[in-house]
Amino acid sequence: MSAHNRGTELDLSWISKIQVNHPAVLRRAEQIQARRTVKKEWQAAWLLKAVTFIDLTTLSGDDTSSNIQRLCCKAKYPIREDLLKALNMHDKGITTAAVCVYPARVCDAVKALKAAGCNIPVASVATGFPAGQTHLKTRLEEIRLAVEDGATEIDVVINRSLVLTGQWGALYDEIRQFRKACGEAHLKTILATGELGSLTNVYKASMIAMMAGSDFIKTSTGKETVNATFPVAIVMLRAIRDFFWKTGNKIGFKPAGGIRSAKDSLAWLSLVKEELGDEWLKPELFRIGASTLLSDIERQIYHHVTGRYAAYHDLPMS
């Protein structure tokens, strides 16, 4: 992971001038979705690259130490070794970028990864995930406890009401406190874009989050009615680009929620490459939050290698 974003002073004059050209954003999103994907060995190469961006996630009420252990094993060995050997990629150390769990399961994940002998980061959701409607004191303590238990990345949720009522100074102050509570852990700020009301609000919330010290901005919790979409992503990526041009700070981007197919992952990689450039296509600056995506990527790689699609029992579960 790259160095922390130290943030900047709150610049409300910049925020007040922001207007998003909604029709232009939608046209750009349609271009991305209509584009034909890469094929054959190029597709396999891009899919393996996509694996290294995945925050392999389980955020279920029935999570137990045993399924966290299984998740961590899958993170270390995301693609069957015989398939990697067929592609001459078995010695490249391909793993997922991180595992992402609830705060109460951080200890289980840290223990499982240590036992597996790997240093994959553990990310924890926090701050009253997914709604962010608990008291600020409780949200800050949740961050601190997750960090104490070994989480090195914290995915916080913002209080959406502050965006919907235009309280940008209050939002900035909250995220600054989240930043401080994270200590040395990296801060990934979930905007829950499906609940922000407009693309202009998405841009403003993105900019406030970066000014306040977020290392990543993330689209969604995965629990909203509408999660990661291309129009929202375009707005967030251009906010990241504008922030970089203004400050020189590179902020990461993480789409999450509803990204389930290998084809989807390729479209997301293509979008980031075109909007921000190749330098953002690394785990330090790009993640995909997903729980089922890896299974479909492995199925597609299996098909590329063998010429047939895998049965359910052919591939290990995550």
Catalytic residues: 218, 254
Q: What is the H or E stretch that residue 122 is in?
A: strand 122-126
Pairing label, strands 122-126, 288-290: unpaired
- Give 77's contacts (C-beta < 8 A, 6+ positions apart): 95, 316
Nearest-angstrom CA–CA distance, 75 and 310: 20
Tell me how far apart the alpha carbons of residues 286 and 250 are, in angstroms, rounded to a whole number.
Answer: 11
Q: Which residues contact 281 (CB under 8 A, 6 or more apart)?
A: 49, 269, 272, 273
- Nearest Cα to 178, choosing from 195, 193, 162? 162
Closest listed residue to residue 210, CA positions, set 7, 1, 10: 7
Helices within 5-155 (DSSP H only)? 12-16, 22-34, 40-51, 65-76, 81-86, 106-115, 136-148
Instruction: Quote the tokens at residue 280.
Output: 């953002």
Tokens of 180: 């401080």
Q: Of 144, 145, 52, 148, which Cα lies nearest the Cα of 98?
A: 52
| Residue 275, Ramachandran bin (φ over 0: left; ψ between -120 and 50: alpha; else beta) | alpha
Angle at the Cα of 65 (from 59 to 70), degrees rounded to 5? Answer: 80
